[in-house]
Structure 1
Amino acid sequence: MARIAIGSDHAGFELKQHLVGFLRQHGHEVDDQGTHSTESVDYPEICAGVARTVRDGDADWGIVIGGSGQGEQLAANKVRGIRAALCNCLYTARMAREHNDANVLSMGGRVVGTGLAEEIVTTFAETEFEGGRHQRRVDQIMALEDDF
């Protein structure tokens, strides 16, 4: 099973809590990096922490959750080596893995319910990167980090 780092802001707290239990129930090792309540909190450092855990190899992949998931995705993507994808449906979860080799999943706790979130996480976890022509494109994306 996978080692998964997870973090959220206050708007994503309840969905995060649900997914921590769901992931552990399915045998995954979960590193819950907060937040630990619905009290208002700024998310950038939490999401960057999840991303750094993935980048450093201490997790196989990560999940960040907020109200919409937009800001959380942006914060995670600031960490070199991270390819965070906002996936609020099954199609984007599958494509994020198949074509972009995404290593952090972002979701909106105010956008998806727990049942759909479980399906998105499962799809993300079980979908393999296709490689081939997509590897060339992922390499080009990652090379952009060296340009700036």
Structure 2
Amino acid sequence: MKIAMACDHAGTKLKNEIKEYLISQGHEVVDFGTKDENSCDLSDFVYPASLAVAKGECERGIFVDGVGYGSALIANKINGVYAAVCQDTFCAKLARWHTDSNVLCLGAKIIGSMIAMEIVKDWMATEALTDEKYRRRVKKVEEINNKHCLPVK
């Protein structure tokens, strides 16, 4: 699977650990940066990574910042991106099962490396539920998205 990754200065170390793991599992990673821990603006990296997911250039995205919410706020502005902040494995599974999220957002200041890796493993391995109840709910969210968000070109 091709994964878009992005972070700010607070998430650089954790992003690099996750990236290394994903590559070791045979995934292709497109790293949108940042590359170091110098202060930077998160949107400069999350925005292009989100566009790559929305355009289908990457199948999923994993974004890391200080608490995760900044990445999610930016990513969820893009039509076709469904970003979830997850701070434990249960939430990661639910984010895939119930909402078919295509972007995982993590907070490097909130969770440690070991928990983050377990979250990534579960989120990557979990498929969306396909029974009628969950597909109907996901479709309603997609309809809201398409009604209010401009298509990505």
Does the CA-based 8 Å contact 2:8-2:64 persist in structure 1?
Answer: yes
Give the residue type in structure 1 aligned to 2:64. Answer: I
Does the CA-based 8 Å contact 1:8-1:16 persist in structure 2?
Answer: yes
Q: Which whole-Å CA distance do the structure 1 matches of 2:87 and 2:11 have between them?
A: 13
Match of 1:22 in 2: 21
Q: What secondary structure sits across from 1:140 in the alignment?
A: helix
Match of 1:77 in 2: 76
Q: What secondary structure sits across from 2:104 in the alignment?
A: strand
If the length of structure 1 is used for normalisation, what is the TM-score? 0.95
Q: Which whole-Å CA distance do the structure 2 matches of 1:95 and 1:45 have between them?
A: 29
Q: Give the superposition deviation at 1:54.
A: 1.0
Match of 1:116 in 2: 115
The percentage of aligned residue pairs carrying the same residue is 35
Match of 2:30 in 1: 31
Match of 1:86 in 2: 85
Q: Which whole-Å CA distance do the structure 1 matches of 2:101 and 2:52 have between them?
A: 15
Q: Give the superposition deviation at 1:72.
A: 0.6
Instruction: Return structure 1 stretches of 4+ with deviation > 4 angstroms.
Output: none
Match of 1:139 in 2: 139
TM-align CA RMSD: 1.0
Does the CA-based 8 Å contact 2:79-2:146 persist in structure 1?
Answer: no
Does the CA-based 8 Å contact 1:9-1:41 persist in structure 2?
Answer: yes
Q: Give the superposition deviation at 1:70.
A: 0.5
Work out the number of aligned pairs and report it.
Answer: 147
Q: What secondary structure sits across from 1:115 in the alignment?
A: helix
Q: Give the superposition deviation at 1:45.
A: 3.1
Give the residue type in structure 1 aligned to 2:12. Answer: F
Does the CA-based 8 Å contact 2:7-2:33 persist in structure 1?
Answer: yes
Q: Give the superposition deviation at 1:139.
A: 1.2
If the length of structure 2 is used for normalisation, what is the TM-score? 0.92
Q: Give the superposition deviation at 1:147.
A: 3.6
Q: Which runs of 5+ in 2 are unaligned?
A: 149-153
Q: Which runs of 5+ in 1 are unaligned?
A: none
